[in-house]
Structures are given as structure tokens and as C-alpha cells.
């Protein structure tokens, strides 16, 4: 047979993919590059660093708790036990 031009081959391959799958990649939308002042850039970097360190601390605490088999229970200082204690104390 005669060789198929690259453009026609690309269209045929795309049609084949359309026939075998309904999955579609979302269109790529990029906003144009934005110039930031040094102050804005530093503020963003500090904010990202704090968020990263907070996430790392939570992950480390979770791993440590799993390793030590510690169950984190909900602490309610105004819960039932505190109310019972006050009621007993008030009666005395």
C-alpha cells in the first residue's frame, strides 16, 4: 500500500482512541506568568514552609502514635465527669 501521510495517521489514531475510551484529558489552561515583588514572594514562601512543617509535624505525630499504639480519645473538660464532680462538690 501507499504510505499514509503523518497528519492522516494522527487523525486515524485519535479516532481509534475515541472509539475505545471515553476518558478525556482536561484542557490545559495556564494563566500567564505573573511578576511578584520580593516581599510577596517571601511571604508566599514563608506561608508554604509553615504549611509544610505543620503537615510534617502531624504526620510525625501520627506515625509515633501508631508505633506506640496510642489511641487519641476526645478530651472534653466540660464533659459528664466534670459536671458530676461539680454536682457532688456543690452538695457538700
For the stretch 14-56, pLDDT in tens is 777 777 776 777 777 777 778 999 999 999 999 999 999 999 9
pLDDT band at 60 (very low <50, low <70, confident <90, very high): very high
Q: pTM of the full predicted structure?
A: 0.41
Each domain of the chain, given as residue ranges in start order, spans: 37-68
CA dihedral 8, 10, 11, 14 (to 10 degrees): 160
The proportion of the chain whose per-residue pLDDT surpasses 70, expressed as a percent, equals 74
78 closest CA partner among 86, 70, 67: 86
pLDDT band at 10 (very low <50, low <70, confident <90, very high): confident
Amino acid at each position: 500500500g501507499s504510505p499514509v501521510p503523518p497528519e492522516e495517521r494522527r487523525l486515524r489514531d485519535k479516532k481509534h482512541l475515541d472509539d475505545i475510551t471515553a476518558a478525556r484529558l482536561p484542557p490545559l489552561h495556564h494563566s500567564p506568568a505573573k511578576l511578584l515583588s520580593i516581599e510577596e514572594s517571601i511571604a508566599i514562601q514563608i506561608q508554604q514552609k509553615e504549611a509544610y512543617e505543620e503537615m510534617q509535624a502531624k504526620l510525625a505525630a501520627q506515625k509515633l502514635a501508631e508505633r506506640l499504639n496510642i489511641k487519641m480519645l476526645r478530651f472534653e473538660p466540660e464533659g459528664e465527669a466534670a459536671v458530676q464532680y461539680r454536682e457532688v462538690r456543690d452538695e457538700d
